[in-house]
Amino acid sequence: MTEAKLLWIAEEVKALQDSGLFINLRTIESAPGAWMVVDGQRVLNLCTNNYLGLADDPWLIQAAKEALDRYGAGPTAVRSIAGTLAIHKELEEKIAAFKNVEDALYVQSGFLANQAALPPLVGKEDVIFSDRLNHASIIDGARLSRAKIVVYEHCDPADLESKIKEYLPQHRRGLMVTDGVFSMDGDVAPLDKLYEVAERYGVLTMVDDAHGEGVLGRGGRGIVDHFGLHGKFDVEVGTFSKAFGVVGGVVAGKKVIVDYLRQKARPFLFSSAVTAADTAACMAAVEMLAASTELVERLWENTRYFKGQMQTLGFDVGHSVTPITPVMLGDVKLAQTFSRHLFAAGVFAMPLGFPTVPQGQARIRVMVSAALSRADLDFGLGKFAEIGRTLGVLS
Ligand SMILES: *Cc1c(COP(=O)(O)O)cnc(C)c1O
């Protein structure tokens, strides 16, 4: 029996189940390679963020093992007390050089990188201009800052300008923040135009490049490189959990800001540092990308092939310009059924519904990876075609 004071929770969960929005966790029992074992079944992996196949790369694994032997399992302190390892500093230098920025701060995750960066830069007297579809971690970081949050229309520099004109005069300072690549649709922010507008009004500029690093720009140097805006954006947030294949977040950018964040960022001051093993694996990933563009090229080749074939089959793959491939299905129950059929046929691709995406825009999101061979892609395409016909999505 549920206690009376907790009944509302049971009702909330039931409502999620009834509306098809309840999240069922699948359990992974292997490394996230092209194929992996999920809930006891060997399936083609079309849904992790392992863009470059680095997550199970032998070089990363070896680097992690060596760091584990040298530094132990955990730093057992926050960075600002006794948790800053030599390897943390080395990684910060390497990622800053890779992204061509002055300095970088390594934190525990991309989610926390936004919490590290936003509250120190803006407060109660300030205003944040935020894209309508920004990631939850930007929204939470913005809320924590207690600045006024003004949402501008998705990827719309003209609306950004009109919002700046309307709200900046009543505030001490402003900050514009946007995702670089939007993770649900795979579209890219018009960073050059947003920068131009923000700069004209003296507004701070920040971009979250979680899905751009390792994907966009020369050799995967990210969205700022893609637009040739080096040295312009004040803050570039990133993550080591996607293309880099490990875990951890980074706040990169101008030295004056990064130095300031080392004094003020709460995830840095009050939560223990990332383990040496993870840090070493991150560093190996950055080194691999700095040394060769081969993986990034294969990622794009696979992306062009998969998307082209899906369109030929007749699927609506949205407006993505990146390896993120949303297979638009509309109804959340249809997306779940489609995903279940795929899984039974040996393809792992998860359905996404509200609140991750807007109501009525449920989809299966395929994440293309350099780890996939042409035969793997053809296997996945074959199953999408078969099930698309069975469920009446394709005619
Ligand atoms: C995934 C993602 C994050 C979170 O990164 P983690 O390292 O997984 O915490 C932050 N911002 C954006 C835009 C993301 O897509």
Would you list the DSSP string of 192-210?
Answer: HHHHHHHHHTT-EEEEE-T
Question: Closest ligand 1 atom, CA of 182?
Answer: 13
Q: What is the mean pLDDT of residues 61-67?
A: 98
Instruction: Cite the residue boundaries of each domain of the chain with CATH code 3.40.640.10.
Output: 58-291
Catalytic site residue from 94, 163, 211, 307 = 211
pLDDT, tens only, 126-179? 999 999 999 999 999 999 999 999 999 999 999 999 999 999 999 999 999 999
Q: What token pair was written down for 304?
A: 């062009």
- Flag whether pLDDT at 348 surpasses 90: yes
Round to whole Å and give the CA distance between 191 and 182: 12
Question: Is the bond into 355 cis (omega within 30 degrees of 0)?
Answer: yes
Q: Tell the residue nearest (CA) to atom 1 of ligand 1.
A: 210
Specify whether 183 is catalytic: yes
Round to whole Å and give the CA distance between 277 and 73: 8
pLDDT, tens only, 41-52? 999 999 999 999
How remote is the CA of residue 7 from the centroid of ligand 1, in Å? 33
Round to whole Å and give the CA distance between 234 and 190: 16
Residue from 242, 246, 271, 274 to probe ligand 1 pocket by mutation (most atoms less than 8 Å from CB) = 242
Q: What's the pTM value of the predicted model, to 2 decimals?
A: 0.96
Instruction: Cite the residue boundaries of each domain of the chain with CATH code 3.90.1150.10.
Output: 4-30+293-390
- Cβ–ligand 1 distance for 365 under 6 Å, the answer no
For 4-30+293-390, CATH gives: 3.90.1150.10
How remote is the CA of residue 239 from the centroid of ligand 1, in Å? 6
Specify whether 211 is catalytic: yes
Phi-psi map region of 318: left, alpha, beta (phi>0 left; psi -120 to 50 alpha): left
Rounded (5°) CA angle 117-118-124: 145
- Flag whether pLDDT at 395 surpasses 90: no
- Flag whether pLDDT at 355 surpasses 90: no
Is 248 in a helix, a strand, or coil?
A: coil
Specify whether 254 is catalytic: no
How remote is the CA of residue 223 from the centroid of ligand 1, in Å? 15
210 with 135: CB under 8 angstroms?
A: yes
- In this prediction, residue 37 carries a pLDDT of 97
- Flag whether pLDDT at 19 surpasses 90: no
Q: What token pair was written down for 189?
A: 């922010």
194 with 333: CB under 8 angstroms?
A: no
Domain 58-291 CATH (choose: 3.40.640.10, 3.40.50.20, 3.40.50.300, 3.40.190.10): 3.40.640.10
